[in-house]
Structure 1
Amino acid sequence: MGLCHGKPIENPSSHAENSVIPGDVEHAVNSNVSKPLTHSFYSPSPLLNVFKNSPANSSVSSTPLRFFKRPFPPPSPAKHIKALLARRHGSVKPNEATIPEGSECEVGLDKNFGFSKHFVSKFELGEEVGRGHFGYTCIAKARKGELKGQELAVKIIPKEKMTTAIAIEDVRREVKILRALTGHKNLVQCYDSYEDDENVYIVMELCKGGELLDRILSRGGKYSEEDAKSVMVQILSVVAFCHLQGVVHRDLKPENFLFSTKEEESQLKAIDFGLSDYVKPDERLNDIVGSAYYVAPEVLHRAYGTEADMWSIGVIAYILLCGSRPFWARTESGIFRSVLKAEPSYEEAPWPSLSSEAKDFVKRLLNKDYRKRLTAAQALSHPWLSNYHDVKIPFDISICKHVKAYVCSSTLRKAALQALAKTLTVSHLAYFQEQFTLLGPNKNGIITLQNFKMALTKNSTDAMKDSRVVDYVNMVSSLQNRKLDFEEFCAAASSVYQMEGLDSWEQHARSAYENFEKDGNRPILIEELATELGLSPSIPLHAVLQDWIRHADGKLSFTGFMRLLRGMSSRSLHKP
């Protein structure tokens, strides 16, 4: 469900080899097409050009093929994904397999959203500039009010398309999220929403600069590192803002970023929150949505959070820097297998000529283990971007999750994390210093858990309340009146899994163990260790914990230290 500006595309009947997956395309349209597509997911649009002043074959509807190295025929949708979205939007055919999404009643659905009914009196609709499968976008001009005379984009969603309770809730949530998040400079502005008996109308700013995708094409398929940094900073800035509010976009791709104007230095705007949802730091979503090239591995495993957006940003960064997709196959099922199993290539040109920082940046976003992936705030602090002008590091909500785990840990694990924190690099410490400062330490350089609540209040929007992130942070703040100086904050906020994603992890681990040996290691009985870990007495402790303790002196072994760092529990001890 895109918005703002349609774009011409090719007719796949004569150019099938250039068609690729567009996701929920709302950018390329022709209202006269007699056979609209049934599904909104992973299907190349066959619709013709609607721009009177544009050449018919000037662009394509999704991530293009023309600068990619391999031929790519249009894939057919993966059956399970296709069936899920058909179910979601009420277009299931007889005998078609589906993934259960709950028992939505299609009779007597309440399609009253409570929006203003005065759209026609306030706006004059112009030409249609974009069409998706559940709505279309028109240019409009305001007749009166604060926006009088301005050209705007109006997304129109016919109520007849809302045939399930889930579809209705998707529209309601999209409007709610857009309203709540409006205000960030890199997010399309939502002015108001209206409805009548036939449609829902979402009034937004009109972005005239075209898609990020078109800019990539105009540069011959790739950006210089400096220009790619400019794009990444803007994308990460708005995504970090969304994640702090507890909103995951779930469909980040070059097609969903528009430039405000055609100027070279125009601001980039995130659009299309039709698939977005709320998520707390400790919550996992399970519905499979997104676009195939950009979908994260954990989405396919149906257990994901905001980290899925960071994978998509990694794919965008890869494309910006080298002009080809990191994961490729002839069918969507093949693409999914590639996402799950294959590793991106960094051997072919131009990767050998790019900076080591750029490659590390992309690799740390395209880590298949979501726990090792950078957050948006961390990515903005990465050495590749740290010296770029106008980089403002926002508060990172993931800090709350790590500090909560630290506060609830045993004294032995806290000592292990403190030993690990002593091995942090300059870039790590710079990121933690930014986060610590945002928490507002007192004149003695101390924070309490209440500081997290205060920091969040400064950044709060209605979306944060709807996502219940505030409730989560309130719970963290009420754990205990714990005081942290900067040194202990670094230990509490560190993610062991993220550090495991570093090429230098083994050096960190060995150095941390040496620090632990000096400061925190001591003789310990298996029974005491079991108590520290909260293990049940019914577990065969000697069999489970024997390699945790050195036989020579009864102190924690390197193996035990590493497991302790990861927060081993009775459940994880029983995993193979």
Structure 2
Amino acid sequence: MGQCCGKAAVGENGDVATTIVAPEEVHPQSPLPVSEVSNNPSVRNTPTRGSPWPSPYPAGVAPSPARSTPRRFFRRPFPPPSPAKHIKASLAKRLGQGKPKEGTIPEDSGNEGGGQMLDKTFGYGKNFGAKYELGKEVGRGHFGHTCCAKGKKGELKDQVVAVKIISKAKMTTAISIEDVRREVKILRGLSGHKHLVKFYDACEDSNNVYIVMELCEGGELLDRILSRGGRYPEEDAKAILRQILNVVSFCHLQGVVHRDLKPENFLFTSRSDDADMKLIDFGLSDFIKPDERLNDIVGSAYYVAPEVLHRSYSLEGDIWSIGVITYILLCGSRPFWARTESGIFRAVLRADPNFDDVPWPSVSPEAKDFVKRLLNKDYRKRMTAVQALTHPWLRDENIPIPLDILIYKLVKSYLHATPLKRAALKSVSKALTEDELFYLRAQFALLEPNKDGRVSFENFRMALVSNATDAMKESRVPDILNSMTTLSYRKMDFDEFCAAAISTHQLEAREGWEQIASIAFEHFEQEGNRIITVEELARELNLGSTAYSILKDWIRSSDGKLSFLGYTKFLHGVTIRSSNTRHHQ
């Protein structure tokens, strides 16, 4: 399977529809060649070609950008596995040494700018040969390959390292050059995390760019899954997921979205059973501002989130990928499977994971709830990486909880909300269960409240400063503080913090949401509910007069106040398509 990518189609009304385009289309019903193993990553901004076949896919979704990419590890096609069929059986014909790796997305051939030569100088050191002695190849991708090497001098003298060698000949556009610059910038900026591959150096010569990193000799997480028969016992899966979530939460706080999380991109430092894992391969990663949404479709087909296919996504896309990894760890099969990449995309958009067949009946209810809250197709309802660490199934009170960037986003929205919305949120905060309160207490403690038990703007600022890296500055995460300056003039106690830092969308995904909403509405009736007109309610929701006919059903005719239906709908809010997306040129 290769990277997936797409092209936006703009309709007459200005809406953007997702179109997955392919250099070569394959009829969805036709068998694929038995001998072919595709390693053809798809192309960003590839011109659309029409297919002679009627499309079986949802409106705006065309077949895959790659011909048979789901079978990167397979020598021949195989029938769809049952939801409990072990990965080991499915991957019995996996390629041996030198198996193809997905690389960064290839670009259109030729030079940009009307034949102007591209500047392929990066400003990195030119003395790679003097500093490192290359050894054997340990991996290969689309743009280049990875070798082990030994340092000749300096701090890395006699130390064995990994060197990712990226061919300049394959950097055929400004985009591909910028992708390499960004990968190095991210690796350099994300420094110091235990579960992040260490970056040492970047060099270049006339032919290649050399990225020098820590060598992880323990193999991929995928290999460990296979060696265990395709699945992990719950306790062992927890140990893996805590490491994954910890490093991903760190990346997200720094404003870095990985965009290609999968078992192949987590390496063990050694062959030991208790070896640490390291997250690698930031070739598809990007910096992202707190309120920004990306629109280029990249990733690996089995792990791509629905909103990525819809071309509007943020950090939550990584959480979906972790949900897929968790599903695989617990049952040994993929939650979304098809013979073709386009079939996988259709399953991601339409199908629900199977939790009924073996071994799921023997999996704990807490583990199933954990997976479901990661694989929610509504990205707003997914847990963050930090929230997942505090989930009852995974919680370990001996492991420190990291700071969550979501807290800043929610508090910012609360500070700019209307008095009625703040009253509604305060009512919800009084109905929270202990599970939600555990997470909120941990986040509040990380803000280091003052002696009076309250927090101010300075607490939020210092919490970010204490976690800052160069990557955080590059992604401009601290800019979110500019929208929180009202806390410079007042303080927030824990009760108000709970109201400010809860997501009603996430609560709606809980099985106990109805009870929470019912208790919250009782508090709202006593303290916050008031007479409101349809016109005022529309202004609260930033809606026009066309919504009056709907909103009038939210108001009780008996007293002119919000009904229970109106209260829950008001909490949910109205989704307005955001134009704050970034287009990669």
Q: Give the CA deviation at 1:490.
A: 0.6
Aligned length: 511
Q: 2:156 aligns with which of 147, 163, 170?
A: 147
- TM-score, structure 1 normalization: 0.82
User: Residue 228 of structure 1 aligns to which amino acid in structure 2?
Assistant: A
Q: Give secondary structure in 2 for the equivalent of 1:357.
A: helix
Q: 1:199 to 1:446 in 2, by over 3 A?
A: same
C-alpha distance in 1, partners of 2:388/2:371? 10
Q: 1:7 corresponds to which residue?
A: none
Q: Give matches, 1:23-62, under 5 Å.
A: 42=69
C-alpha distance in 2, partners of 1:104/1:476? 43
Q: 1:441 aligns with which of 437, 441, 449?
A: 449
Q: 1:390 to 1:261 in 2, by over 3 A?
A: farther
Q: Give the CA deviation at 1:354.
A: 1.2
C-alpha distance in 1, partners of 2:312/2:302? 18
Q: Give the CA deviation at 1:548.
A: 2.5
Q: Give the CA deviation at 1:407.
A: 1.0
Q: Give secondary structure in 2 for the equivalent of 1:446.
A: coil
Q: Give matches, 1:496-507, under 5 Å.
A: 496-507=504-515
User: Residue 179 of structure 2 aligns to which amino acid in structure 1?
Assistant: D
- Percent identity between the two aligned chains: 60
Q: 1:532 to 1:217 in 2, by over 3 A?
A: closer
Q: Give the CA deviation at 1:130.
A: 1.1
2:288–2:475 contact (8 Å) kept in structure 1: yes
1:469 aligns with 2:487: no
Q: 1:11 corresponds to which residue?
A: none
Q: 2:572 corresponds to which residue?
A: 566
Q: 1:324 corresponds to which residue?
A: 333
Q: 1:90 aligns with which of 90, 108, 112?
A: 108
Q: 2:55 corresponds to which residue?
A: none
Q: 1:524 corresponds to which residue?
A: 532
Q: 1:288 corresponds to which residue?
A: 297
User: Residue 89 of structure 1 aligns to which amino acid in structure 2?
Assistant: E
Q: Give matches, 1:362-511, under 5 Å.
A: 362-387=371-396, 390-477=398-485, 481-511=489-519
Q: Give the CA deviation at 1:330.
A: 1.0
C-alpha distance in 2, partners of 1:177/1:41? 31
Q: Give the CA deviation at 1:240.
A: 0.2
User: Residue 176 of structure 2 aligns to which amino acid in structure 1?
Assistant: A
Q: Give secondary structure in 1 for the equivalent of 2:393.
A: helix
C-alpha distance in 2, partners of 1:184/1:372? 28
User: Residue 226 of structure 1 aligns to which amino acid in structure 2?
Assistant: E
Q: Give secondary structure in 2 for the equivalent of 1:483.
A: coil
Gaps of 5+ in 1: 3-14, 25-37, 49-64, 75-81, 93-101
Q: 1:242 to 1:302 in 2, by over 3 A?
A: same
Q: Give the CA deviation at 1:440.
A: 1.5
User: Residue 274 of structure 2 aligns to which amino acid in structure 1?
Assistant: E
1:19–1:73 contact (8 Å) kept in structure 2: no
Q: Give the CA deviation at 1:392.
A: 2.1
User: Residue 291 of structure 2 aligns to which amino acid in structure 1?
Assistant: D
User: Residue 248 of structure 2 aligns to which amino acid in structure 1?
Assistant: V
Q: Give secondary structure in 1 for the equivalent of 2:297.
A: coil
2:86–2:231 contact (8 Å) kept in structure 1: no
C-alpha distance in 2, partners of 1:324/1:169? 36
Deviates more, 1:355-364 or 1:554-563: 554-563
User: Residue 250 of structure 2 aligns to which amino acid in structure 1?
Assistant: F
1:18–1:72 contact (8 Å) kept in structure 2: no
User: Residue 463 of structure 1 aligns to which amino acid in structure 2?
Assistant: A
- TM-score, structure 2 normalization: 0.81
Q: Give matches, 1:232-381, under 5 Å.
A: 232-381=241-390
1:428-483, CA deviations, whole angstroms, 9 ceiling, x for partnerless residues?
10100000011121111111233222111100011001111111233334676342
Q: 2:554 corresponds to which residue?
A: 548
C-alpha distance in 2, partners of 1:450/1:115? 38
User: Residue 108 of structure 2 aligns to which amino acid in structure 1?
Assistant: G
Q: Give the CA deviation at 1:143.
A: 0.6
Q: 1:201 aligns with which of 200, 210, 213?
A: 210
1:236–1:380 contact (8 Å) kept in structure 2: yes
Q: Give the CA deviation at 1:131.
A: 1.0
Q: Give the CA deviation at 1:563.
A: 2.2
User: Residue 492 of structure 1 aligns to which amino acid in structure 2?
Assistant: A
1:498-542, CA deviations, whole angstroms, 9 ceiling, x for partnerless residues?
011111111111121111112211233445445544556xx2675
2:409–2:480 contact (8 Å) kept in structure 1: no
C-alpha distance in 2, partners of 1:451/1:22? 49
2:70–2:301 contact (8 Å) kept in structure 1: no
Q: 1:23 to 1:294 in 2, by over 3 A?
A: farther
2:260–2:284 contact (8 Å) kept in structure 1: yes
Q: 1:329 to 1:106 in 2, by over 3 A?
A: farther
Q: 1:569 to 1:227 in 2, by over 3 A?
A: closer
C-alpha distance in 2, partners of 1:412/1:528? 11
Q: 1:328 to 1:120 in 2, by over 3 A?
A: same
C-alpha distance in 1, partners of 2:92/2:117? 44
User: Residue 333 of structure 2 aligns to which amino acid in structure 1?
Assistant: S
C-alpha distance in 1, partners of 2:269/2:389? 22
Q: Alpha carbon RMSD of aligned pairs, Å?
A: 3.2
Q: Give secondary structure in 2 for the equivalent of 1:146.
A: helix
1:124 aligns with 2:130: no
Q: 1:109 corresponds to which residue?
A: 118
1:189 aligns with 2:192: no
User: Residue 495 of structure 2 aligns to which amino acid in structure 1?
Assistant: E
1:115-162, CA deviations, whole angstroms, 9 ceiling, x for partnerless residues?
111111111111111111101111111011011101111111111110
Q: 1:98 corresponds to which residue?
A: none
Gaps of 5+ in 2: 3-32, 43-64, 76-84, 95-101, 579-585
C-alpha distance in 1, partners of 2:517/2:364? 26
Q: Give the CA deviation at 1:70.
A: 6.9
Q: 1:177 corresponds to which residue?
A: 186
User: Residue 462 of structure 2 aligns to which amino acid in structure 1?
Assistant: M
Q: Give secondary structure in 1 for the equivalent of 2:573.
A: coil
Q: Give secondary structure in 1 for the equivalent of 2:408.
A: helix
Q: 1:543 to 1:73 in 2, by over 3 A?
A: farther
C-alpha distance in 2, partners of 1:465/1:410? 31
C-alpha distance in 1, partners of 2:575/2:413? 12
Q: 2:54 corresponds to which residue?
A: none
Q: Give the CA deviation at 1:269.
A: 0.4
Q: 2:145 corresponds to which residue?
A: 136
C-alpha distance in 1, partners of 2:361/2:532? 50
Q: 1:556 to 1:110 in 2, by over 3 A?
A: same
Q: 1:551 to 1:464 in 2, by over 3 A?
A: same
1:106–1:165 contact (8 Å) kept in structure 2: no
Determine which structure has greater relative contact order: mean sequence separation of CA pairs < 8 Å that are 6+ residues apart, divided by chain length: 2
2:148–2:215 contact (8 Å) kept in structure 1: yes
C-alpha distance in 2, partners of 1:289/1:255? 16
1:72–1:330 contact (8 Å) kept in structure 2: no
C-alpha distance in 1, partners of 2:320/2:307? 10
2:127–2:203 contact (8 Å) kept in structure 1: yes
C-alpha distance in 1, partners of 2:149/2:74? 22
1:211-234, CA deviations, whole angstroms, 9 ceiling, x for partnerless residues?
001110111111010100000000
Q: Give secondary structure in 2 for the equivalent of 1:384.
A: coil
Q: Give secondary structure in 1 for the equivalent of 2:156.
A: coil
Q: 1:97 corresponds to which residue?
A: none
Q: 1:149 to 1:409 in 2, by over 3 A?
A: same
Q: 1:557 corresponds to which residue?
A: 563
Q: Give the CA deviation at 1:103.
A: 6.8
Q: Give secondary structure in 2 for the equivalent of 1:484.
A: coil
